[in-house]
Chain A
Amino acid sequence: DGGITQSPKYLFRKEGQNVTLSCEQNLNHDAMYWYRQDPGQGLRLIYYSQIVNDFQKGDIAEGYSVSREKKESFPLTVTSAQKNPTAFYLCASKSGGLEQFFGPGTRLTVL
């Protein structure tokens, strides 16, 4: 089955630690996106990538980093510089059509 997978579903991190969220897609999509969801604020764009080895900052990139070494993978690292990392993180991908397809999300909690 084609789709987007995110792992883990739940992630706990101690303050001051970096953590990497996984996003993999087997849809052969060129574009991939990372969003952050907080209560009452909808989804906000963190980073996006239109092609392998290229990515751009979204609206709230501070404290995050990404890489795009393979077409199917777009991992997001939440660094210790992110002041309020507890949130729900969604990955999405898109082909040449209009629709972005979303993964199931990762809930990150900082202890």
Chain B
Amino acid sequence: AQTVTQSQPEMSVQEAETVTLSCTYDTSESDYYLFWYKQPPSRQMILVIRQEAYKQQNATENRFSVNFQKAAKSFSLKISDSQLGDAAMYFCAYRALMEYGNKLVFGAGTILRVKS
């Protein structure tokens, strides 16, 4: 079974600085998708960024970018120019390409605190 590990329970960053959240996963599949979701205090889950495993280019969305290392099974999220609104729980998630149900497997999450 696939597993997703987020080894940092909590991280802190100063406003306007850069922070990287770590995620590793375990799978025997060659084709899959990876996601980062944000859960602010409202608890609404919001998709931040996604990566298709067959794409070598790292995904970027404005201040958010990933470092996808397929061989190492690593998928870290970099947040640049951190803002107070970035404070949230961040979840890394995996989805197999061909598995019935398109099920997501989540990591335990990382709490990100942003200091002003």
Contact = CB atoms under 8 A, between A and B. Distances in A.
Contacts of B91: 42-43
Interface stretch (B62-70, B73-81, B102-110): B102-110
Interface residues of B, number: 22
A111 to B, nearest CB: 21
A90 B102 CA distance: 16
Contact of A50 (B95, B101, B106, B107): B101
Q: Is the interface of A mostly helix, strand, loop or mixed?
A: strand
Given A42-B106, A105-B44, 17 more contacts: A33-B104, A41-B108, A42-B4, A42-B107, A42-B108, A43-B91, A44-B106, A45-B103, A48-B103, A50-B101, A58-B103, A92-B45, A98-B50, A99-B47, A100-B104, A102-B44, A105-B43
Interface of B: 4, 6, 9, 33, 35, 42-45, 47, 50, 91, 95, 100-104, 106-109
11 contacts: A33-B104, A35-B106, A42-B4, A42-B107, A43-B91, A45-B104, A58-B103, A98-B33, A99-B47, A100-B102, A102-B45
